[in-house]
Amino acid sequence: MIIKNNLFNKIDKEELKLALSNETFERFTASFYHYVKLSSPESFRNKLYIEWNQMHVFGRVYIASEGINAQVSIPEHNWDKFCDHLKTIPELGEISIKQAIQEGHSFYKLKIKVRNELVAYGVSEEAYDMRKVGKHLSAEEYNFAMDQDDSVVVDMRNYYESEIGRFDNALVPDVETSKELLPEVKKLLSGRENDKILLYCTGGIRCEKASSYLLHNGFKDVNQLQGGIIQYAHDIKEQGIDSRFKGKNFVFDDRLGERVTDDVISSCHVCDTSCDDHTDCKNDACHILFIQCTECSELLNGCCSKECKDFALLPLDEQKALRKDPERIISKTFFDSRVKPKLET
């Protein structure tokens, strides 16, 4: 019998981060996904948690009836054991594990959640068919395809990801959430149903379903970057290929980004200085994700504005009282023009 209390880590966040900093071994950050029908996502989740927790695996993993999407941090001494373990899971088949471009403390505990969708596009199952997806292109093939007259490159990520790194001349949908993405991309590509569509994302999972959606909606030549930006970064380095991607690859863990090239294509949202370091506003009433240079971070105590800095300096009891009053909470929309600049392509 599986004891539910053993399937979640409820230790204090700061205690977990301290334990991570005291580890005497290296960790590898990696990611993988696989679309497969799971009859019991909850049971599958629980079995994975038990096995991976024993190997001291950290990470953020999503399980759905349509498969798995995993970003994990694995102790170096358990790397081979973990990879061998994955091969024993019938549901996963032949999966491709992508190691991070840059290592670092990415996760401090293991979270495995069951969701309705692996990627929250919010489209019905009738809107796509995962048996029909876009052609996977290697780094070299993708670069070649970009130079074709009828090709169009589409960034399948959110604006804040594209802001710090993207491919040359890519279409960047002006969206903040995955649910807005597919309709917006379909609109942007209207009239180009016969052109060569080149999709890319972080690791490939978003393009997998998006390519199926576009094929289902009449687009004839849909392609996707094999393994996403992560695999592309490895391949260009190993094969000596020129990078058509410029800047950083945004990642959804404590690192917030991996450098692919030395190009800095974004700027501080406070002072407009060249910068591509994301951070969360230190004001607990805000926590907006934005780009901030070192000087502005020191000036504003890691907050996104003087308003947030002043709020964060108030006694905790006063902060809590103010946060209960909707009229006194600092509105995130106040910062929209700074935090969401128009991207140049």
Residue 337 has pLDDT above 50, yes or no: no
Q: Which CATH number fits domain 4-114: 3.40.640.10, 3.30.70.100, 3.40.390.10, 3.40.30.10?
A: 3.30.70.100
More confident residue, 92 or 3: 92
**Average pLDDT estimate for 214-242:** 95
Q: Which fold has domain 125-239?
A: Oxidized Rhodanese; domain 1 (3.40.250)
Q: What pLDDT does residue 253 have?
A: 79
Tell me the percentage of the chain whose pLDDT exceeds 70.
92
Contact, 330 vs 308, CB < 8 A? Answer: yes
Q: Which residue has the tokens 């180009």?
A: 192
Average confidence score pLDDT of the chain: 88
What is the SS3 string spanning the chain?
CCCHHHHCCCCCHHHHHHHHHCCCCCEEEEEEEEECCCCCHHHHHHHHHHHHHHCCCEEEEEEECCEEEEEEEEEHHHHHHHHHHHHCCCCCCCCCCEECCCCCCCCCCEEEEECCCCCCCCCCHHHCCCCCCCEEECHHHHHHHHCCCCEEEEECCCHHHHCCEEECCCECCCCCCHHHHHHHHHHHCCCCCCCEEEEECCCCHHHHHHHHHHHHCCCCEEEEECCHHHHHHHHHHHHCCCCCEEEEECCCCCCCCEECCCCCCCECCCCCCECCCEEECCCCCCCCEEECCHHHHHHCCCCCCHHHHHHHCCCHHHHHHHHCCCCCCCCHHHHHHHHCCCCCC
91-95, 118-122, 271-275, 341-345: which has the minimum mean pLDDT? 341-345
Residue 208 has which token pair?
A: 């997998």
pLDDT band at residue 328, thresholds of 50, 70 and 90?
low
pLDDT band at residue 330, thresholds of 50, 70 and 90?
low
15-24, 119-128, 169-178: which has the minimum mean pLDDT? 119-128
**Average pLDDT estimate for 116-130:** 83
Q: What pLDDT does residue 227 have?
A: 94
Residue 187 has pLDDT above 90, yes or no: yes
User: Tell me: the pLDDT tens digits for 51-110?
Assistant: 999 999 999 999 999 999 999 999 999 999 999 999 999 998 788 898 887 777 889 999
User: Tell me: the pLDDT tens digits for 8-61?
Assistant: 788 888 898 888 889 999 999 999 999 999 999 999 999 999 999 999 999 999
4-114 and 125-239 in the same fold: no
Residue 179 has pLDDT above 80, yes or no: yes
Residue 195 has pLDDT above 60, yes or no: yes
Residue 301 has pLDDT above 90, yes or no: yes
Q: What pLDDT does residue 126 have?
A: 75
pLDDT band at residue 323, thresholds of 50, 70 and 90?
confident
**pTM value surpassing 0.75:** yes
Taking alpha carbons only, the member of 137, 98, 103, 140 closest to residue 243 is 140
- Order across the sheet with 135-137: list the strands: 135-137, 221-225, 196-200, 151-155
Residue 43 has which token pair?
A: 């049971």
Residue 344 has pLDDT above 50, yes or no: no
**Average pLDDT estimate for 285-311:** 92
Distance in angstroms (rounded) separating the CA atoms of residues 321 and 301:
22
Q: Where are the domains of the chain?
A: 4-114, 125-239, 278-339
5-14, 67-76, 192-201, 308-317: which has the minimum mean pLDDT? 5-14
Distance in angstroms (rounded) separating the CA atoms of residues 287 and 277:
15
Q: What pLDDT does residue 327 have?
A: 63
Q: What pLDDT does residue 93 have?
A: 77
Q: What pLDDT does residue 302 have?
A: 94
The catalytic site residues sit at: 201
